Structure 1
Amino acid sequence: MAQVALRRLLSALILVAVASVACFSIVAVFPGNVARVIAEMRSSTVSDEIVKQIEVQYGLKDPVPLRYLRWAGRAVRGDLGESLRTGQPVAKDLVRRAPLTVILILGGGAFTLVMGMGLAFLGALWSDSVIDRIIHVLSLIGASAPKFFIAALLVYLFGVVFRILPTYGFAGPASWILPCISIGIIPGSILSRVARVALAEEMSRQYVVTAISKGLPRRRILVHDALPNALPVTINAFAMHFAFMVQAALVIEPIFAWQGIAAYFVEAVRFRDYQVLQSCLLVFCVFFILVNLSVDLISMALDPKQSRQRLA
């Protein structure tokens, strides 16, 4: 187990290195003259001389591999450069904005788990009943609706019609509810179908038939026997959608006026702030890799057979 974990950690470090190259390269090959963009941000009048000074200042004429090594070396030390738009250190801005995005993703992940596992358990408990069919339909609708539509609908219902929840800004726990629900409904709906299928497969196995023949209640069999065996598949499905919540945050944060990392990235795209773009892309990639690494290790711990196969 320890050897497998070490190999996975080494693979994750290699992936982080590859991701850093990709993040730098994507921004480095942006069309247009980056130095001229920087000059236009700083002054209304731009001359060729000013553009050349900026190229020298930022080393934009140096070979791309050398520029990457400089950027990566500073990034390892926690120096991500300065925002071209505000002049503030990018690392400082990321640290300041990180709690909002962390709350959004963790809250959305918690809602996804509660919704997905709750609907799957209810559907399996009353299998092939009207309740099961209603849950199936609701899950399909939830998985098909666009993120921005769900967020806009929640804002309209709870902020305009009922006026019971705040819909603008980051102002305490009450303002977390709608963004977390908005980001969690789609993955929660998908997770409910994955978990429902996994539970149905477990409930059709021979050990369940034996337990039912002994007179054990269906609820006890679901909780003590079927659910633990369905967890590895469910956790892997949850991890995939949890990692992609960063992508969903790009839509949800601007709608609710949250100034998190995702909103920071959207602003950087609008103003072509390439220092911020590179840093945000790197943060997103590292988050994605760490989530997959953590879930892979958890899956091995929950599934001894999978662990033995990997060791072999």
Structure 2
Amino acid sequence: MQLFKEDLVAVAQSPLHHWLTDLPAQLAAWEKEQQHGELHKWLRCVAQLPKLPAERVALSDTVQVTSAAVSEGEQNRIRGLLQQLTPWRKGPFHLHGVTIDTEWRSDFKWQRVAPHIGDLSGQQVLDVGCGSGYHLWRMLESGAQQVWGVDPGQLFMAQFLAVRHFMPAELQQRAHWFPVGVEDLPELKAFDTVFSMGVLYHRRSPIDFLTQLKAQLKPGGQLVLETLVVEGDINTVLVPGTTYAKMRNVWFIPSTAALLHWMERCGFKSAKVVDESLTSVEEQRATEWMTGQSLADFLDPNDATKTIEGFPAPRRAVVIATI
């Protein structure tokens, strides 16, 4: 478990120390049995990144780390290594002169979320399904003491490690990532805020998922949930067929009224929708860092209000709740 040694030390020294009852064994099992065939290549790319001073860091819309001391050769090396970690889906990042123009403009989502989350100062924050960790850095910008990302995606993990590699030590020690799913988390009841953005509709049992998120929060903690929704009343839930917007792993898309009802049944308090908007092709699109199909290919070419399958086009809502 050398890869996670420092992160486990951070767990032991944090209010999450009881997580060590389960986490080391889970990571040991993951290292033995569940590694992606490309993971060693991805981790070699991270290990080959040059060590450079972080003279300027901005955890802003584009997460940036820069230094005046970087040569053109080092920039080319960084670009070449980071391009071996494609596709980059969540960002953007700017690392020592190399701009990673990701498929998603994740800053758009953060701009919709940030005004409603309150002050994260001093908090222990969990991001479930954190992807490459872009939003972890934004949570630190908002004052979080430590941020913890969990996601089974191993390419995402390599991307997070690549970005963290360039961060100053103080920030490296506050941002952590583990390759586990929410179903692997015990009832920690330890986080001040739990984020889950873009995950609910991928879960076969949304009620179980909401219950799992609730189990990670301390009493009085807040959940920030962002997910696909459809228009309709408390009984409206879209259950797509084989695909939704060419995604094969979409199971349930509720109306906001149905979602709030689910959350109330799960024991959340004061749940409210703070934002609802259609996803635009400016927010999700193909780039040189993600050259495959993207949102424009997933919509009906004759009617952008519908997906290619004829369902309502992606609409996303942000819900804030407490326990």
TM normalised by structure 1 equals: 0.22
The structure with higher relative contact order (CA 8 Å, sep 6+) is 1
Rg larger for: 1
Q: By percentage of residues, which structure has more strand?
A: 2
Q: By percentage of residues, which structure has more helix?
A: 1
